[in-house]
Amino acid sequence: MLRPFLHYGAHFLLPLAIAILFYKPKYLKVYLIFLCGFLIDLDHLWSTPIFHPNRCSINFHFLHSYYAIIVYLLLVVPKITRLLGIGLICHIIADSLDCFMMGI
């Protein structure tokens, strides 16, 4: 019961905390951009089954691969893509936390 709470809490609260701490004047807009990081979960549609509660997403789905993670890290460098990159990295951190809690 604790694992889904921490996993989904990290998906929503980590980006919110970063938005409030570092982008206070426009935190709501920044938070919404961070939440666009959820779009990488579209790669679950190519899996069978689409959702499996005990599957680690990291390096299983193609948008959660190590190569994709390198691209997400590089997106943080240019100012124009920084917010999207941070949102994607927050998503990967939340999924990594889930994998860690599964013992993988």
Listed residue (11, 10, 94, 92) closest to 59, CA to CA: 92
Distance CA 51, CA 26 (A): 34
Rounded to 5°, the CA angle 20-22-25 comes to 65
Predicted confidence (pLDDT) per residue in 89-102, tens digit: 999 999 999 999 99
Predicted confidence (pLDDT) per residue in 44-97, tens digit: 999 999 989 899 999 999 999 999 999 999 999 999 999 999 999 999 999 999
pLDDT at residue 1, rounded to an integer:
77
Q: At 70, which helix (H) or strand (E)?
A: helix 66-75
pLDDT at 104 over 80: no
Predicted confidence (pLDDT) per residue in 2-58, tens digit: 898 999 999 999 999 999 999 999 999 999 999 999 999 999 999 999 989 899 999
